[in-house]
Amino acid sequence: MTFLNPLILIALAAAAIPLLLHLLNLRKLRTVDFSSLRFLKELQKSRIRRLKLKQLLLLLLRIGLVVFAVLAFARPALRSSSVLPGAHAAATAVILIDNSFSMTLRDDQGTRFTQAKQAALDIVEMLEENDEAYIIPMTDPKAAINAQPTRNREVLRQLVNGLGLNFRRADLDDALRAAATVLDRSQNINRELYIITDAQQSNARGGTDSLKLFTGDTRIYLLPIGANHGLAGSNLALDSIRVLTSLFERDRPVELRAWVRNYGQRDVENATVSLYIEGNRVAQSGVEVKAGGNAVVELSAPPKRSGLVSGHIQVEGDDFDSDNKRWFGFPVVERMRVAIVGTPENTAPLGLLFGLYGTTLTADRAAGIGGLDMGAYSTIILADAPVTPADARRLGQFVEEGGGVVIYAGPSTNRDAFNTGLGVSLGIGLGTPVTATDPSAPLTFAAVEKEHPMFSGVFDPANPGNMVESPELTTVLPASGGETLIRLTNGSAFMSEFRRGRGRVVYVGAPPSGAWGSLATRGIFVPIALRSALYVGATSDPFPQGTVGEAITVPLAAAQLPDQVRVTGPNNLEQFVPVRKYPSGASIQVDNATEPGIYRVDAAGKELTLFAANMGSGESDLTPMTEKALQQAIGVRMTNPANLRQLQSSGSNFGAAIIESRFGLELWKYMLALALLCAFAEMFVGRVPKNAEAGG
């Protein structure tokens, strides 16, 4: 026997009160004998014996009244299979329902999710009047931790019928932890957990440790769903996609790579993989994937407009289409404003070149940056221009906040002043100038990083070994550190990239004029000048891609931001998210991305950025766990694994199997009945007959 409210047993001390009162009434008094009463005493002996017996019986009844009343409140429970009327011990039931998208598969009994909901309804109908239950979806079990149980069957039916599918992965371990948390709060002797799932291997991919979550009195029932385990047909999935391009321009191709995997048991010979931009299919490719294998597909197409552009890649031709689409987004520069600072002989060739490329770039020339409004520009070019310490600090902050700077060295560049001023602000150090000692053997390019985004599409991919027409340089002032993009024949860096905060800096070791060589007259000067200005000034990274159900961090580039922004999802549902502002920049964290697609972020009517949320790849693998593996994954969490039982999701033996295994009798009703019986008996025994009163 056990007590569900054991602290109440302290009140048993009150049972001593009737005994104390009885003992006080037995105090002996001094007696005086009268001869006339001697005969009366003889007559009263038999009555006194009856009176003592009555007092003893009243004492026992009063003690029993207190004891049984206290026991009733302490809720004693007897672990037995005996069947006593009205004595069923109340149960707390947790019903875990797998509502991930793998449950959309269909067999001859309908979809797996329909079967799971019917099994849950069967359990609800089996519950007794005083039982309580929780309905917990496996894709979001933590949300139910603070929920309250209900004993209303109609409410439970509504919760089951109202449960919908979710794009999150069903994590078995998280679900078990949530179930254990709510069961630990229960005061009922019977604690039951029902797990209704298709038992994917990926549901338990996080693994389990040896921590025991469930006590020995908790019973767990497994209800695996799905007549056809796995998927006999083809099951292609887009495991992931990547935007390869880093510099996005209107009417210039954007390259993407997609990884396609066949999780099915049948080879796929010619599936179509399509690229959509702004809802329009702009490219497609065929793919062959063996069962259990994977393939890589590369697609490209030019965006037709500037601004915040979104799209998706889709694979077609399989039997499970919930994992066939993944979303992405990227920014396309509309018109970039560039400031060119330096002497006329250095700014003139750059201004002429940018003027020819005016569809994307607008260039302003200035002699110095002292009065320059840096906030009006995305890129600032220093063409052999000296910089004061105050301007160096402004440029450093400009880059930290996401701006871009291109620096050309030249005769006016003072190495020592640079290293102690602008170099400190930007994290760049200049080395010793390199000069060609023999005029007939000038410095030339030895290697160009052709795979860098700045040179994407510049060189012929069919001829990767073609030589670059190198300028002939007499002097070069190289930078140390950073990523070398162009290297000279003597091993020095001619062109380097540096990152500072959220911005980029490109350093070129010679001026755009002819002072140190023929750089401005060679064809390579065009991509160096144009692409470097675009690269550092554009928001060159594609927009973030996150996973549905997981926190997604999105950086914000606007200089002035409100305390919160609006996020609009693909279902047109809006949420307001606080802006986190730090010295290094601002960002938001979105926790409620519940549906795959594009989420747009705006403030005060202006669209700031966007991001993509995609379904996790874990749901694509429909391979089920074996019965042994499933039981082991759950049994390791139980103090008494013998209380784990696997059942069928439907059938005549379903309810009976559970009822047979339920046990436990609560005896509080019997204790209360005995307390009432003692009270009535005490009233009856303590009653004084009328003839006794008359005789007194």
Q: What's the DSSP call for residue 689?
A: P
pLDDT value for 525: 92
Q: 3-state DSSP call for residue 45?
A: helix
Question: What is the third-level CATH fold of 336-537?
Answer: Rossmann fold (3.40.50)
Asked if 491 and 544 count as a contact pair (C-beta separation under 8 A), the reply is no
Predicted confidence at residue 147, as pLDDT, reads 85
Position 145 scores a pLDDT of 81
Alpha-carbon distances, residue 73 vs 3, 14, 367 (angstroms): 10, 14, 91
**The pLDDT value given to residue 694:** 46
Contact 257, 298 (CB under 8 A): yes
Q: Is the CA virtual torsion 470, 471, 472, 475 positive or negative?
A: negative
User: Token pair for residue 134?
Assistant: 């929780």
Burial of 72 (0-12, 13-18, 19+ CB in 10 A): buried
Per DSSP, the three-state class of 184 is helix
pLDDT given for residue 160 in this prediction: 93
Rg, the chain, Cα only: 41
Q: Matching CATH topology for 91-229+622-662 and 336-537? A: yes
629 HSE (CA, 13 A, CB side): 13
Which residues lie across from 327 on neighbouring strands?
312
Strand pairing class (2-3; 76-78): antiparallel
**Which residues, 6 or more positions from 9, have their beta carbon under 8 angstroms from its beta carbon?**
3, 70, 71, 74
Instruction: Write down the domain spans for the chain.
Output: 2-27+36-83+669-695, 91-229+622-662, 236-333, 336-537, 545-614
Fold of 545-614: Immunoglobulin-like (2.60.40)
Amino acid at 7: L
State residue 144's pLDDT score.
Answer: 79
CA 631, CA 646: separation in Å to the nearest integer?
A: 8
Using 70 as the pLDDT threshold, list the residues of the chain that sit under it.
Answer: 1-2, 4, 22, 25-49, 77-88, 205-210, 227-233, 357-360, 457, 459-467, 539-540, 558-559, 584, 648-666, 688-696
Q: Which fold has domain 236-333?
A: Immunoglobulin-like (2.60.40)
Dist CA 1 CA 664 (whole Å): 10
CATH number of 91-229+622-662: 3.40.50.410
Cα–Cα dist 555/543, whole Å: 9
